[in-house]
Amino acid sequence: MSTRFWTGSRRDTLAGYLFIAPQLLGSVLFVFVPLGLVFWYSLHEWNVLADTFTFVGAENYQALADDPKLADALVATGFFSAGLVVLNLSLALLLAVLLNQRLRGTVFFRTVFFSPVVVSLVAWTIVWNFLLQDNGGINALLETVGVDGPNWLRGEGTAMVAVIVVQVIKNVGLNMVLFLAALQGVPANLYEAATVDGASRRRQFLSITVPMISPTILLTSIITVVGSLQVFAQIAVLTQGGPGTSTTVLVYYLYQQAFQFHHFGYGATLSVLLFAIVLLLTLVQWRMRRKWVFHES
């Protein structure tokens, strides 16, 4: 006597697999296959024009270790990421706290701060490129108050600052909205109890607000760190990696090597390095969540 093949549990299993199939297929096609290919390319010397594709083993990785320009790119990336994450998160939290007050006009200001998020990144950056010229709008504005503004995009120090600020203004609204949502989820009775206990506003912020919104802080910090490591369009439009190599971040360096200098194999090697860095940073943040995210402890 044969048992029925489609038992209840097998049906459930099939249904489960079918449910995840579209997502899985997408991941395999657009994430894991390209990822594998990039690793495969990184083991080759690929000259696009001559149409040659030669296996070189670990040569590209050796070149990576010997590349004198890589250190500069990593330092620039570190500066950019650190500057962006600190400025973006603190500004987003500050704005969220301010706009969480029951005051007139908060809706207007929320809209103002969020609107850059929906603007096309390249259009946004091109406009800023005009504003930041030596004879551009920012310096004209500074001149009206008697300040002789620097040549923003041409100075070694100011170029990186300009790129960071342009990016922060573009994206701070997104983190602000996430923080706002988190702030509104904090139960009001906690503040009432603290007020009864005589806790100051500052004490309430540090001991109630921050712990209660810590899952959102984790989320926004991961998104912002990962996003900051992938900055490209802003650099391409504003500075092209200059002056010198002061704003040549890893992704821009990768682009130069692969698409401008035609070293596709080496470009792929740099992609692998970028992937490893992002993975490592994300894992570190994920591990640390138990230490400081309130709901995880």
Binding region for another protein (CB under 8 A): 27, 30-31, 33-35, 37-38, 41, 46-51, 130, 133-136, 151-154, 219, 222-223, 226-227, 230, 232, 240-245, 251, 254, 256, 258-262, 264, 267-268, 271, 274-275, 278-279, 282, 286
Q: For another protein, which is the closer residue by CB, 126 or 186?
A: 126
CB 139 within 8 A of CB 149: yes
Closer by beta carbon to another protein, 99 or else 250: 250
Q: Which is nearer to another protein, 116 or 242 (CB)?
A: 242
- Shortest Cβ distance from residue 103 to another protein (Å)? 32
Q: CA angle at residue 206 from 205 to 211, to 5 degrees?
A: 100
Sign for the pseudo-dihedral over CA of 23, 26, 28, 34 = negative
Find the shortest distance in angstroms from Cβ 249 to another protein.
11
Q: For the chain, give the number of residues.
A: 297
- Nearer to another protein (CB atom), residue 117 or residue 226: 226
Q: How far is the CB of 288 from another protein (least distance, A)?
A: 14
Indicate the residue among 213 and 268 with the shorter CB distance to another protein: 268
Which whole-number Å values give the CA distances from 84 to 40, 52, 265, in the listed order? Answer: 33, 40, 30
Question: Rounded to the nearest whole angstrom, what is the least distance from the CB of residue 105 to another protein in the complex?
Answer: 33
Q: CB 240 → another protein: shortest distance, Å? A: 6
